[in-house]
Amino acid sequence: MFFRILGESFLRNPARKWLEAAALALGMAITTAALVTALDVGDRMAREFRRLGANLVVTPKTDTLPLEIGGTDYRPVEEGAYLKDEDLGKLRTIFWRLNIVGFTPFLDAPAELERGQNRFATRVIGTWVAHEVAVPDGTTFTTGVLATHPWWKVEGAWFPENAIVTRGDASDNATTRGGRDVVVGASLASRAGIRRGDWFTIRLGGHEIDMQATGILTSGGAEDQAIVAPLNLVQGLTGHLGEYRRLAVSALTSPEDEFAKRDPDTMTPTDYDRWFCTPYISSIAFQIKQTLPGANVRVVRQVAETEGRVLGRLSALLWLVSVTALVSVALVIGSTSATTVLERRQEIGLMKALGAGRRRIVGLFVAEQVFVAVCGGLAGYLAGEGLGYAVGEIVFGIPGTGRLVLLPVVLALALAVTLAGSLWPLGRVARLDAAPVLRGE
């Protein structure tokens, strides 16, 4: 009997139920999409912030003070300490290895460029472009300036990375191809009249070798005045085989909060674990320091601070937007449910007149509303996931990730909102006497 009446109610007046379910589905779609976006935005924007380049810098611990002015270190090559590049694969074995987007070692040396009659004082910067690093777990990881310095633009092509140059090769002045291919900074190139494909001579540390420009580099930094070459070429020329002086690390981090600013040494073991297992920039720096012997890891505050602040504000904003949308949608749906119940006073009156108890009537309406809520909530969840996916695709180029966790949340919300909206008028109507209601008073 109960179910027959329920079924009848849906069949007899479908428009009203459809509208309620539609409002519900729309509202839940907003909620789901907003939640999906708010949950994702931290990760997505953190990745966008990596366009700013490295947020961690690794230097040797026992180093003399670098004499860096305008991005160029004026220390002589023989001075200062170096780090070993064979350890770099270990960076992909730390707890937050997947958050390490890229790292690039640098080694540079003063040099003299000779072209025709003219000589230019410059520097040769050795680095990786897209270098395959062997990770101790047997995999390889490709990294270099393409990952850590995305604003560097090369007109032409980068030099090939795979040329192996040993000390013997480098000092040998034969014009072999590969390993002598370099890119030339734009300012230097225009002063020296070098275009891509041109050959020129470099004097560095007693060696004199011919190099070919495979491309012209614009970086907006000190590199515009320099020559960028494969790391192993510069290592060979300077006699620092397998060594580098500075490592730029680009890592995905979560914004620092008050907790992250505490000193890990004074934390309780539980707090320490929590700190260690959160991708704060300080905990990633700490893990890198543990991995690379003799290294000093510094947080580039200029990048990290701005990133933390903007990310924190953006996700706070999106959460508040989600909550605003949610509350307003809840009120809209609640009022729709209330309207549909209020309009059925006569029906309720009739039921009462026919001897239905209050509990029975309320049960019937609740069952009806639950059914509408589940259908609307489910449809809304699916539509919302679709929208979240689309927003991710449009804004970040990466579709949003589906989150099944949200399904029970959204269904519970749909139920709560519909029941809250309908129970109040239902209670009022069910308490009325049948006769005046039926008369339409």
Which listed residue (90, 92, 123, 240) binds other proteins by CB under 8 A? 123
Provide, rounded to whole angstroms, the least separation between the CB of residue 23 and other proteins.
4
- By CB under 8 A, is residue 313 in contact with other proteins? yes
The residue behind tokens 């307003």 is 328
CA pair distance 181, 246, nearest whole angstrom: 22
- Phi then psi dihedrals of residue 294, to 5 deg: 75, 15
- Of residues 237-256, which lie at the interface with other proteins (CB under 8 A)? none
- By CB under 8 A, is residue 363 in contact with other proteins? no
Residue with Cβ nearer other proteins (133 or 369) = 369
Provide, rounded to whole angstroms, the least separation between the CB of residue 328 and other proteins.
4
- By CB under 8 A, is residue 151 in contact with other proteins? yes
- By CB under 8 A, is residue 314 in contact with other proteins? yes
Provide, rounded to whole angstroms, the least separation between the CB of residue 145 and other proteins.
12
- By CB under 8 A, is residue 20 in contact with other proteins? yes
**What would the two tokens of residue 68 be?**
């860096």
Residue with Cβ nearer other proteins (197 or 220) = 220
Residue with Cβ nearer other proteins (46 or 133) = 46
From 31-39, 131-139, 227-235, 354-362, span contacting other proteins (CB under 8 A): 31-39
Which listed residue (46, 189, 222, 372) binds other proteins by CB under 8 A? 222
Please choose, from the candidates 180, 194, 181, 179, the residue with its C-alpha nearest in 3D space to the C-alpha of residue 225. Answer: 194
Amino acid in position 203: R
Provide, rounded to whole angstroms, the least separation between the CB of residue 133 and other proteins.
24
- DSSP bridge partners of 142: 132
- By CB under 8 A, is residue 41 in contact with other proteins? yes
| Angle between helix 301-342 and 14-49 (nearest 10) | 180
**What would the two tokens of residue 306 be?**
């701005």
Is 141 within 8 Å of 133 (Cβ atoms)?
yes
Q: Cβ-count burial of 108 within 10 angstroms (0-12 exposed, 13-18 middle, 19+ buried)? A: buried
Handedness of CA 74, 80, 85, 91 (dihedral sign): negative
Residue with Cβ nearer other proteins (47 or 195) = 47
CA pair distance 115, 217, nearest whole angstrom: 18
Amino acid in position 294: G
**287-296: b or e for each residue (b if 16 or more CB lie within 10 Å)?**
bbbebbeebb
Is 182 within 8 Å of 250 (Cβ atoms)?
no
The residue behind tokens 């260690």 is 276
- By CB under 8 A, is residue 321 in contact with other proteins? yes
Is 135 within 8 Å of 150 (Cβ atoms)?
no
- Of residues 372-411, which lie at the interface with other proteins (CB under 8 A)? 387, 391, 394-396
- Of residues 201-220, which lie at the interface with other proteins (CB under 8 A)? 218-220
Residue with Cβ nearer other proteins (170 or 227) = 227
Residue with Cβ nearer other proteins (133 or 233) = 233
Residue with Cβ nearer other proteins (187 or 278) = 187
Residue with Cβ nearer other proteins (28 or 133) = 28
How many CB atoms are located within 10 Å of the residue 78 CB? 9
CA pair distance 253, 393, nearest whole angstrom: 22
- Of residues 327-356, which lie at the interface with other proteins (CB under 8 A)? 327-329, 331-336, 338-340, 342-343, 346
Within 13 A of 197's CA, how many CA atoms are on the CB side?
Answer: 1
Residue with Cβ nearer other proteins (141 or 244) = 244
Residue with Cβ nearer other proteins (22 or 374) = 22
From 88-96, 229-237, 263-271, 306-314, span contacting other proteins (CB under 8 A): 306-314
Provide, rounded to whole angstroms, the least separation between the CB of residue 302 and other proteins.
5
- By CB under 8 A, is residue 271 in contact with other proteins? no
Is 232 within 8 Å of 164 (Cβ atoms)?
yes
Provide, rounded to whole angstroms, the least separation between the CB of residue 26 and other proteins.
4
For other proteins, what does the binding mask look like between residues 84 and 103, x meaning CB under 8 A?
--------------------
- Of residues 48-87, which lie at the interface with other proteins (CB under 8 A)? 48-49, 51-53, 57, 64-72, 74-76, 79
Residue with Cβ nearer other proteins (262 or 274) = 262
CA pair distance 341, 343, nearest whole angstrom: 5
CA pair distance 195, 216, nearest whole angstrom: 7
**What would the two tokens of residue 439 be?**
């008369």
